[in-house]
Structure 1
C-alpha cells in the first residue's frame, strides 16, 4: 500500500476487554475526506482491518493449542478468514482525527465468525458495524451474469477524467493515496450535461496493487450518482453494506456505481468492482440522503 494507506491501516491496541474484546486506535489523515468529513469507504476499510486484527489477537497462539488438535483446526480456519461482509450504520460523520475501534467477537465459527466494530471519536460512537469473517472465494464461479462493466477497458483511456487536477479533487481529497480515473461518458456533469445515474471508473493504490481492504474503500469511491441528475451537494450515507468476494488480481480495479430508484429524500447506490481479469471482487449497496435543499 502507499504510505498514506499504510498509515491509515496501522492500528495500535489500547485496551483488551477479556477473551472476546479489544480496542484499537487509528489516525485518519485529511487525505481520506470528502469535503470536511471522513470518506465512508475509507472508514469502513479501517473497520474491516480492525476486525481482522482483532480476530488474530483474540485467537490463542499455536503454543497454547498444541495439546488440542480440534482447537488447532479452528485456529487454522480462522487464519484464512478475511472480512467478507461489512454492514455499517453511519450515526454521524467523523472528522479526520484520532479514532478508536472497539471490537467485540459476537460469534466464533470454523466457517463464519461475526464481530461488532464501533468507531468512537470524542467518546461518541460515530459508526457501528457488523463484520462477517469467512474464507474468500478462490475457485471458478458457477455463474457470472452480464454487468454494467462489460466492455469497459482494463485500463483507463486517455479520455478519462483523472482525479488529480480535476474539479472533483476540490471535494475528493484521496488523490495522494490513489490513482482515480472517471469515465467521461458516464460523468456528463463535467460538460454541464445530465444523464443516467451511472458512473464508471478505474482505481488503484498509487504505485502498488490492490488488496481486499482496498476493495472495501473502492465500494464507496464514486461521486454520488445523483450528480448526473443535477443533484449536487453532500449526500450523507445512512447505511453501507459491502461484500468482498475475492482477493483482487494485480492492476487497475474497474468500478461502476448505479441507482435504480432516486426518491425525493433518499436514493440507493450500488457499486460493482472487478479486477484486471474481469472477475467480480467486491460489491456494495448504500442508502444515502439526497443533497440538502434539493
Structure 2
C-alpha cells in the first residue's frame, strides 16, 4: 500500500516521556518561509488522538476532532518537532485535551503552537440545518494553483502536495484584479488523492490563499488564533472550500472558512484572526 505524503508528515513516534511524541516537518509542506499552519495543527491533533487511543482509562471511541482552538506563537520550520499532550477532561460525549508543539532552536525549545481540542464520535452525525455549498464550475474548469508563476511555486512546495482549484470568479487577485468582495472559493484535495478524514480537515481549513488577497492586500497574513469545528466525517472526493471576510482594521482581519464534501454536506468550518502585513 502506498502511504500518502500527508500521513508521512503527521506520523509520530513515542519518546521516553509517555505524553510526548516526536515527528518531523519537511520543506515539502512549506508556504514561503514557514510550514503550513494546517499541517502543524493536523500533526498536533494526531498526537492528541494517539494519546486518547492509548489510554485504557479513557473513552477510546472519541477519536474524531470536533473543535480545536489553536494559538500560533512562532512559525514552524522544517525539522524535528515534539508534541506534548495532556488530558483535561473525559466526558460521555467529548474528551478534551491540550497539545503543544515545540522545536529546538539554538539549543533551546521554542513553542510553535498550543491548542485545546475536544474529540468525539462523528459516526452517523445528523444534520438538521446547514449553509448551502457555493455553486462552482467543475475542478477542470477552475484555476489550478499549478498555473502560478514558476518562481512562486519554487518557494511554495505545499502546492505540490495539495491540489487547489480556484473558482475563476474569485481568482482575479492572482493577476492583480481583486474583486474586493473578500471572497475566495474553489476545490481542494490532496494531490496523491489520499481521501480526506476528520483530522485532514484541519489542514484543509488553512490551505487556501489568504482571503486578504481578494482585497488587494498581498502581504503576509499570519494566523494569530484559529478556531475550527469539524461537523461530520467527509465523504471521499473533492472538498469544496469557501473563504470570506467582513472586517479589516487595526492590522487585523477575520477569515471565515467553510468546507463541504463531495455529497454537499458541510463537514468543517473555522474562524481565524489574522494579522495584516501590507506588502
Compute the TM-score of the two structures, normalised by the length of structure 2. Answer: 0.90
The answer (yes or no) to whether the contact 1:4–1:176 under 8 Å persists in 2 is no
Q: Would you say 1:194 and 2:178 are equivalent positions?
A: yes
Q: Find the counterpart in structure 2 of residue 119 from structure 1.
A: 101
Deviation at 1:4, TM superposition (A): 1.5
Deviation at 1:181, TM superposition (A): 1.0
Q: Find the counterpart in structure 2 of residue 65 from structure 1.
A: none
Within 5 A, what are the aligned runs for 1:259-274? 259-274=245-260
Which of 196, 200, 204 matches 2:189? 204
Compute the TM-score of the two structures, normalised by the length of structure 1. Answer: 0.86
Deviation at 1:171, TM superposition (A): 4.8
Deviation >6 Å, runs of 4+: none
**CA 1:178–1:166 in 2, change beyond 3 Å: closer, same or farther?**
same
Q: Find the counterpart in structure 1 of residue 82 from structure 2.
A: 100
* CA RMSD in angstroms, aligned pairs only: 1.8
The answer (yes or no) to whether the contact 2:136–2:167 under 8 Å persists in 1 is no
Q: Would you say 1:47 and 2:44 are equivalent positions?
A: yes
Task: Name stretches of at least 5 consecutive residues in structure 2 with no aligned partner.
Answer: none
The answer (yes or no) to whether the contact 2:53–2:63 under 8 Å persists in 1 is no
Q: Would you say 1:156 and 2:142 are equivalent positions?
A: no
Within 5 A, what are the aligned runs for 1:1-294? 3-17=4-18, 22-60=19-57, 77-122=59-104, 123-136=109-122, 138-146=124-132, 149-153=133-137, 155-158=138-141, 160-167=142-149, 169-195=153-179, 196-205=181-190, 206-292=192-278
For residue 53 of structure 1, give the secondary structure of its aligned residue in structure 2: helix
Task: Name stretches of at least 5 consecutive residues in structure 1 with no aligned partner.
Answer: 61-74
The answer (yes or no) to whether the contact 1:45–1:214 under 8 Å persists in 2 is yes
> More deviation in 169-178 or 111-120?
169-178
**In 2, Cα distance between the equivalents of 1:32 and 1:125?**
19
> More deviation in 175-184 or 212-221?
175-184
**In 1, Cα distance between the equivalents of 2:116 and 2:125?**
26
What do the CA deviations read for 1:103-130 (whole angstroms, capped 9, x no partner)? 0111112211111100011112111100
For residue 39 of structure 2, give the secondary structure of its aligned residue in structure 1: helix
**In 2, Cα distance between the equivalents of 1:248 and 1:96?**
29
For residue 87 of structure 2, give the secondary structure of its aligned residue in structure 1: strand
**In 2, Cα distance between the equivalents of 1:96 and 1:7?**
14
The answer (yes or no) to whether the contact 2:167–2:186 under 8 Å persists in 1 is yes
Q: If you compute each CA radius of gyration, which structure gives the higher value, 1 or 2?
A: 1
**In 2, Cα distance between the equivalents of 1:213 and 1:219?**
11
What do the CA deviations read for 1:26-58 (whole angstroms, capped 9, x no partner)? 111112111011111111111111111111122
**Matched positions, count:** 270
For residue 42 of structure 2, give the secondary structure of its aligned residue in structure 1: helix
For residue 78 of structure 1, give the secondary structure of its aligned residue in structure 2: coil
What do the CA deviations read for 1:249-290 (whole angstroms, capped 9, x no partner)? 011001011101011400000110000000011111100000
Deviation at 1:165, TM superposition (A): 4.1
What do the CA deviations read for 1:151-171 (whole angstroms, capped 9, x no partner)? 225x4142x121224236355
